[in-house]
Structure formats: structure tokens, C-alpha cells
Homo-oligomer: A and B are copies of this chain.
Amino acid sequence: MKSLKEQILESVRQDLVEIESALADNLKPYLPLVSHVAKYIMFSGGKRIRPLLMVLSARLCGYKGNYDKTLSVVFEYLHAATLLHDDLVDGADIRRGNPVAHSIWGNPATVLVGDFLLARSIAIAAQTHSVPIIDILANTTAQMSEGEIHQMLHRGDLAVEEADYMEVIRRKTAYLIQAACQVGALLAEAPGGQVQALADYGHHLGIAFQMADDLLDYTADTRVIGKTIGADLREGKLTLPVIYALDRATMEDRRRLETIIQDMVAVTEGRREEVPLSPNGQLLRDVDAKDADFETVLGLIKKYGGIAYTRERAQKHIELAKKCLNTFSTSKPRGLLEQLADYVLVRNV
């Protein structure tokens, strides 16, 4: 029997081909460097989930025009822009198995190409001549930058709460996926109720998507996800599994968790500032030795049910997302949107 992924891919193969062409055709940079950096980040294994959601949402609402693929690139460009800037902000090394863009082209080019992609996406959206669409995109972009700032401010903060986590993932992930679905409905000039239903679907899907992503950082195979397992924690990003465990741990276990996390973050901060040298020129901490520490953290997270709780919350949002689709009668695009929701939690990459 075919896997859920194979089933979905078979149904959207032609859409994905057209989205890939549109991604390359609508960049229109005047400098080759922009093209190189943008293509490096965009054509290195992206799943095109955001453009696809826009296209399927428009189709669900009966869209028959030919602007859907072009408009859909906006969501991938915005996503790519934030990846460029966020990897820089996070001091990340690797994304999808490749060195991050700023390690190849340097910080200046990475900042500026990110700006170009932000601007280009709004310019493409403006071509719809639809004020609500433009408005959604501009506001989503502002929300995303504030979500990243919120996350940055809480880097390494052991007192961070589930409410902070929810605020961050809403802003940095859910709003863009919500916007993709909502804009699809608006492009199809769907009635208000349908626009809202798809916006809500996208919102819940986006939350589940980020929770699943955060789970992968604890449960995935490094070779499959193309980045080091535990990277979030090392970068000082406390996500729901560890927040939940910290909250429920005994005083003693909480102290153990805190000590290990503080050390892991300190090593990364040290690397980030390139001052981790002891007086005699040795790294103060041996980075490799930290794998054992990560295993300890993972064990404690599991002991207090942090993984199970996060999966449960994600499942809840998947159910809520699918429920939003009940306002539409059964159809092929509705079925696909339901399958995509289910796929979020079974994916391993």
C-alpha cells in the first residue's frame, strides 16, 4: 500500500511542477548573486507546503484562473527570506544537510538577499490588485519578524512558559500558513465564511506543523532531517517538549535539566562569539562530549512525558484544522487538505 506521502505526491505532482517553474520564473533579480543565494536556499529540498496550500485552498473555493501558481511563490519567497535571516540570527551551521547560506556568501549578502525576497513577494502580491491580500501579507511579514524577535529574547530562558512558546510559533510559523490558505480563498473570491474557515484551518495546521518540527528536533534521525538533532536546544530554543518537562520535573530533575541546558547554550553562545578559549588556547568545553548530555535531557523529557504531550497537542490542532474543512462539501481538494493535515504528524523530515 502506498504511504500517505506517496498518495499526496501523486495527486499534486502537476501542481508541484508548475510551482517549481513559477518559483524560478518570478524571482526576476537584476544581479546574478541574488539569484544564486535565493536559489540555494529555495532549491535545496523545500517541501513547497505553503504554495501548495494556497493552490489547493483556491481550488477548494472553485478558483478557475491562472494566477494561482504565480501568487503561490510569494509564500515560498517569504519563507525563504525568513530562513536566510533566521539562520543568521540563530548562528545555525547546517540546514537540510547543507551549510547555511551565510557561511557561503557571508552575512551581508544573506541579509540583503533576504530583504530582496521580502520585497519581491509583496511586489508579486500587489499584482493581484487585491488590498486584502496585500494587507494580509504585509501584516504577516511584520508578525513573523516579531515572532523571531520574541524567540531571540527568550534564548536560553529557562523560565519560558507554554504561553510564550505558543505566541512565538503562532507568529513565526502559523500566521504564514494561515495566510497561504486565506489568500487562496481570497484569490477565488470565496464568501467570507469560507475565507475564515480556510484561515482557521491554516492557523491550526501551522501550529501543528511547528510542534511536529520541534518534536523532530528530539526524535528524528540526523541523517534524515539534515541537521544535528538537538540543534534547537543547543541554540537556546526551549520548545514545548522541554518546557513541559521542566514544569513537571521534581526539584532535583529540574536542576539537572537546567544545568545541562545552560552548559549546552553556553557552548553555542561561545562558538557564536568565537571566544570559547581557555587561557591556554583549548576549548573550555568539548562539544562532542555533549552528546551524552543531550541523551540525559532526552531521557528526562521522556520521563515527564514532554514528547507525548507535544504530540498530543499537535494532534489536537490537526483535528481542529480538519474540522474547519467541514464547511466545504466533499471534493478532491478538500480530501487533499485533510491528507496534508494528517501528514504533518507522520512526516519524519
Contact = CB atoms under 8 A, between A and B. Distances in A.
A111 interface: yes
Interface stretch (A128-136, A181-189, A191-199): A128-136
A153 interface: yes
Interface residues of A, number: 44
Interface string A3-32: 000000000000000000000000001110
Nearest to A171: B30
Given A135-B126, A142-B120, A85 B153 contact: no
A100 B193 CA distance: 48
Interface stretch (A63-71, A143-151, A296-304, A335-343): A143-151
A33 B89 CA distance: 15
Given A146-B31, A153-B33, A138 B119 contact: yes
A107 interface: yes
Interface string A82-116: 00010011100000000000000001110111111
A144 B31 CA distance: 12
Given A88-B108, A116-B142, A31 B149 contact: yes
Contact of A123 (B33, B135, B146, B153): B135
Contacts of A73: none
A112 B85 contact: yes
A131 B33 CA distance: 30
A142 B112 CA distance: 10
A268 interface: no
A30, A125, A149 interface centre (most CB from chain B within 10 Å): A149
A152 B119 contact: no
Q: Which 5 A-B pairs have the closest CB atoms?
A: A119-B141, A123-B138, A119-B142, A89-B108, A115-B145
28 contacts: A29-B146, A31-B146, A31-B149, A31-B150, A34-B146, A85-B111, A85-B115, A89-B112, A90-B108, A107-B107, A108-B152, A109-B152, A111-B111, A112-B148, A112-B149, A113-B149, A114-B115, A115-B144, A116-B142, A116-B146, A116-B149, A118-B119, A119-B141, A122-B137, A122-B138, A123-B141, A127-B135, A134-B134
